[in-house]
Amino acid sequence: MGMTATQKILAAHAGLDCVSPGQLIEARLDVVMGNDITIALAVPEFRKAGAAHVFDKDKVVVVLDHFAPNKDIKAAMQCKTCREFARENHLKYFYDVGRMGIEHALLPEQGIVAPGELIIGGDSHTCTYGALGAFSTGVGSTDLAMGMAVGENWFKVPSALRFRLTGKLQKWVCGKDVMLHIIGLIGVDGALYRSMEFCGGGVAELSMDDRFTIANMAIEAGAKNAFFPVDQTCRSYLAEHCRKTWKAFEADKDAEYEKTYDIDLSSIRPTVAFPHLPSNTRTIDEVGLVELDQVFIGSCTNGRLEDMAMAASVLKGRHVHDRLRVIVIPATPSIYLECMQKGYLRIFMEAGCAVSTPTCGPCLGGHMGLLAAGEKCLSTTNRNFVGRMGHVDSEVYLCSPAVAAASAVTGRITDPAKLSMETL
């Protein structure tokens, strides 16, 4: 029986010729990543296990991005724990305020993750790196601590779902719409502990930013990981960002999948997830009247350069509706600088947006944009659970940067293709 690409990566890291779904394996790790929340929780477990130092100072990555710049004394203490741990272990990759960006945008940009690698992270959206042809998945802080200590973890080999992409995206449609469409189709548990593997001619029509977004939200369908093939688009990205030696893996022709979904990219419309699940989706044509209090553009899902460019193209020469507030957060310092050089930051600020330093902040209801009771936020983030961005009586709607920017102008959820008519 053939193996999927995910299964091949796991077999290689376990030192086995083959693996099968459900098999328990012990595999070596190429990268172990944590943030200011999860490292602070993992350090006591690391010490309790008797570990004197990390298994490899060049393979453990710490990014202070959730509550940094520190929002309160507790966050300051968490970050202090991370700083001390990073210094004690002489970590090569430690990103503090001024250098840090949102981890899942930062690691690919900095060339820390590569195809064929096995990566764990103390954050559920670690599955993002599957866009580069890696196996990457989120773990709890105890597994994170053991991974940092010994460079290995236990895994149960996942079965796989295949998503065969065809066609080409319409204008104003991007990777976020694709993944919301898929999650709406299969549900938040539709890929539970499975690998979501993408293939087909439509993959070539997706930019790397599209792929990062799609892989990022695999966890919102319950998946263990996502996987994209290493094609020319990916190779070009790696040539610019990554100096590692890497190996690409491909699925065998006789690999087994539990189910295959055929997705025609040309048929996908801008899509919005209504409260309180990412699977509660409607196309922009089905939305109706939803008036807003806040719009947020950013996060590890949609804070990359293409996202900023898309939002800026909509907001240029327009102004934010006077009833709401708009927060824009580029995901990394490099993206922030490119936005500055390309004039996007000026467009945002002249439109009436608040532009912030890179941080996860508002996405998880951390800081810099929390919602009050009864408020509605349209957000380019990945989750809209009850209380996700603030008060339990607030509501979060998920969308693409284009829909977010158009809606910022009108004050209600709006199709960017109809914005010119809406604002005449």
The pLDDT tens digits for 350-398 are: 999 999 999 999 988 888 999 999 999 999 999 999 999 999 999 999 9
Percent of residues, the chain, with pLDDT higher than 70? 99
**Amino acid 420: pLDDT:** 63
The radius of gyration computed from the CA coordinates of the chain, to the nearest angstrom, equals 21
140, 248: one domain: yes
Q: Is the pLDDT of residue 423 over 90?
A: no
210, 229: one domain: yes
16, 95: one domain: yes
Q: Which of 164, 109, 110, 136 is nearest to 10 (CA)?
A: 136
145, 35: one domain: yes
323, 229: one domain: no
The pLDDT tens digits for 127-173 are: 999 999 999 999 999 999 999 999 999 999 999 999 999 999 999 99
**For position 392, which CATH number holds?**
3.30.499.10
284, 252: one domain: no
The pLDDT tens digits for 185-215 are: 999 999 999 999 999 999 999 999 999 999 9
280, 193: one domain: no
300, 338: one domain: yes
Helix 38-48 vs helix 73-88: angle between axes, to the nearest 10 degrees?
50
The answer to whether the peptide bond before residue 69 is cis (omega within 30 degrees of 0) is yes
207, 342: one domain: no
CB atoms within 10 A of CB 353: 23
**Amino acid 419: pLDDT:** 83
Last residue of a domain, one of 221, 248, 264: 264
**Amino acid 1: pLDDT:** 74
Within 222-375, strands assigned E span 225-227, 259-264, 271-273, 281-283, 294-297, 325-328, 354-355
143, 16: one domain: yes
Helix 208-216 vs helix 232-241: angle between axes, to the nearest 10 degrees?
90
By the 10 Å C-beta count (0-12 exposed, 13-18 middle, 19+ buried), 175 is classed as buried
60, 202: one domain: yes
CB atoms within 10 A of CB 204: 12
Q: What is the tally of structural domains in the chain?
A: 2
Q: Which domain holds residue 208?
A: 5-264
Residue 286 to residues 282, 306, 351, 417, Cα–Cα distance (Å): 6, 26, 28, 15
Q: Which of 10, 28, 258 is nearest to 157 (CA)?
A: 10
The residue-averaged pLDDT of 229-256 equals 96
The pLDDT tens digits for 4-63 are: 999 999 999 999 999 999 999 999 999 999 999 999 999 999 999 999 999 999 999 999
**Amino acid 422: pLDDT:** 53
Last residue of a domain, one of 229, 264, 299: 264
Distance of CA 203 to the CA centre of its chain: 18
Per DSSP, the three-state class of 308 is: helix
**Amino acid 377: pLDDT:** 98
Rounded CA-CA distance 385/392 in Å is 9
Q: Is the pLDDT of residue 424 over 80?
A: no
User: pLDDT averaged over the chain?
Assistant: 96
118, 238: one domain: yes
Q: List the strands of the sheet with 225-227, edge to edge.
A: 225-227, 194-199, 159-166, 259-264
Rounded CA-CA distance 314/368 in Å is 23
Helix 305-315 vs helix 344-351: angle between axes, to the nearest 10 degrees?
50
**Helix ranges, 263-370 (H):** 299-302, 305-315, 333-341, 344-351
* SS3 track for 39-106: HHHHHHHHHHCCCCCCCCCCCEEEECCCCCCCCCHHHHHHHHHHHHHHHHCCCCEEECCCCCCCHHHH
Last residue of a domain, one of 264, 298, 322: 264
